[in-house]
Structure 1
């Protein structure tokens, strides 16, 4: 019984392609200001809490029955929220957008197939790819950019996107708009070019779409006539429902038929469906915080520039800041001041979530103080 868990794990018949890998995880630390996981810092409003509790209470009486396997009402409400003339049969939902992505990869990737993404990007894309037995191809951004601390080096352009798709011929390609961790939204010309360049599935992850700057188009506008295009979204961010675990996607109805081949029976509980529908019925109230968060995001960008740093223009609820001589030391310095942000492993960069005005002020004050200990390089 004195053996370590790692010793026992080494003897277990684990898949060889999973050995040596580490699970996804951001630090979960009890600090006054947590700005590391891109959560919405605002609590769910009281009237929405009441509506959710009422909807869940009604469903609780019937928990002896399985939920609606097709979550029909929820799909109708999601289609109505998204607009763009979408119909309910074009919508899918699951326990977070990660499960939506997992189901898509189970259906369209798997053993012997390849999945292409352009890093740095959302790390769960590659993790889920490997978990489903497919091969992840690590595409690159900003090819030819020489400024190591310039966030623009992570931009994705038509020519490089098409060239890498043609080189690797992936079965599934991921685009992320706005991209995590850079915060930048994609020009739709990149999406259109990527779709034309591949015979496989193209997934555009729009988890942060509600925070985009005015005039930023959504890939939802490209769905008509493109049967291999999928746009994924979440209620975790703008809707402040990270704890509810509800993600969804829009695509051709045939894509949803493919997902039905791999989804678990009754994968979306009655309580989850009820809570999500109640939130959608109050979307105007929940989305009131979006503009406030965008204002704090833009404040972070401006303030970071004034401090001599290089923040990326952001269409998300976070900012990637470059220009740190030692980002790990700066991260530790902020933590010692009670502020937790995210080190994504990019040399010279850190990512911070835009929170409440008070959280932003605390972060900016702590950042200024930390920079006195570790100044920005000249």
Structure 2
């Protein structure tokens, strides 16, 4: 009998699916989730929105999610309308739809790794060739670096992430403009963590006008504490959004998902207070780890990238033994830490105190660089 593996597409054979360690420990700071549960008053509003849909679940949802898109456009501002916004089951589905429409067999998508690890997986799943242009020595991207990579590889789609995961660094407008000017195809700015930016004005939404090939993707998973609901959205030229309808599945966004998202959007102001607290805890992590002599990059996301580790995997295990789960993203001498609640942050800092006291040989500051604006020597 033929093995299932033999029936699988050749480019998928031997591959493993996306995943992150899910361990039962007291403090989980590894997947960049919002550390705060939905507040009771916000939950009550969401429940009201949901209750209006329950009795009509025998009917299909609004195929185009018009009411939700109107609410999302109002939330984004920038003069955007319902025709400029599209929504799906998490930003991953949006990225997949973009590749289904503008990528595919014989086409390429250009990424700049290390970055969001789903980008090459989504490319593979849609039969799109993924090209990794890498990054500069300090993991940043300059306009010249991006422009040269696009000129060299001539991609059909370009993926840029701002703030970037796992580095936490945001892109300047000059980098976005350079990418758009150099590319002949679609330029996607993945802004999953945009609400955590130190300068909210840095969003690529500012660059949309007059750029019909530019796309800005967002998610409600992070700032809205909505990871379990799976709601992503994008902003782009209305003509581009029309093309995405060619590949979307019918009724892809359930009535309950649309209703829950609208309830959360109605409470955006309340949820922003928790975003501000997470930004405070993120900056607290940076300040305190630096005070311990550990180099940490400034971050515009809800996580930080820690360096100066002689053995990142050993530090990860040692911190885990203290009941704190962080993320080994595979970068030499570096680990990623999600910002948590005040109590979780205290536990994290205490864990590092303990590990540094017991295992000082695991830490080596010369593995890092002074800042993300200076090259490694």
TM-score grouping bracket, smaller chain normalisation: over 0.9
Structure 1 CA distance, aligned partners of 2:97 and 2:144? 30
Following the alignment from structure 2 to structure 1, what is the Cα–Cα distance between the partners of residues 164 and 112?
A: 10
Indicate yes or no: 2:66 matched with 1:72: yes
In the other structure, the counterpart of 2:225 is 240
Report the Cα distance in structure 2 between the residues aligned to 1:115 and 1:100, rounded to whole angstroms: 15
Q: Is the 8 A contact 2:217 2:234 kept in 1?
A: yes
Q: Is 2:356 the counterpart of 1:362? A: no
Tell me the secondary structure at the aligned position of residue 46 of structure 2: helix
Q: Which contiguous aligned blocks of 4+ residues in structure 1 show a shift greater than 4 angstroms? A: none
- Structure 2 unaligned regions, length at least 5: 366-377
* TM-score for the superposition, normalised by structure 2: 0.94
Q: Which residue of 2 aligns with 1:104?
A: 98
> Match of 1:289?
274
Q: Is the 8 A contact 1:236 1:245 kept in 2?
A: yes
The 3 A distance-change label for structure 1 pair 267 and 189 is: same
1:54-65 maps to which residues of 2 (within 5 A)? Answer: 54-65=48-59
C-alpha distance in structure 2 between counterparts of 1:215 and 1:53, whole Å = 30
Pairwise CA distance, 1:216: 4.6
* 3-state SS, counterpart of residue 192 of structure 1: helix
Secondary structure of the corresponding residue to residue 242 of structure 1? coil
Closer, same or farther in 2 for the Cα pair 1:89/1:215, shift >3 Å?
closer
Structure 1 residues 215, 57: CA separation in 2 closer, same or farther (over 3 Å shift)? closer
- Equivalent-residue separation in structure 2 for 1:46 and 1:178 (angstroms): 30
Q: Distance in 2 between matches of 1:249 and 1:343?
A: 29
Distance of 2:201 and 2:229 partners within structure 1: 27
Q: Give 2:127's aligned residue.
A: 133
What is the match of residue 229 of structure 1?
214
Residue of structure 2 in register with 1:148 after alignment: none
The answer to whether structure 1 residue 30 and structure 2 residue 24 are counterparts is yes
User: Which residue number in structure 1 is paired with residue 289 of structure 2?
Assistant: 304
Contact 1:325 1:374 in 2 (8 A): no
Please give the alpha-carbon distance, in whole angstroms, between the structure 2 residues aligned to 1:107 and 1:260. Answer: 9
Superposed CA deviations along residues 59-82 of structure 1, whole A, max 9, x for unmatched, are: 010011110011110000000000
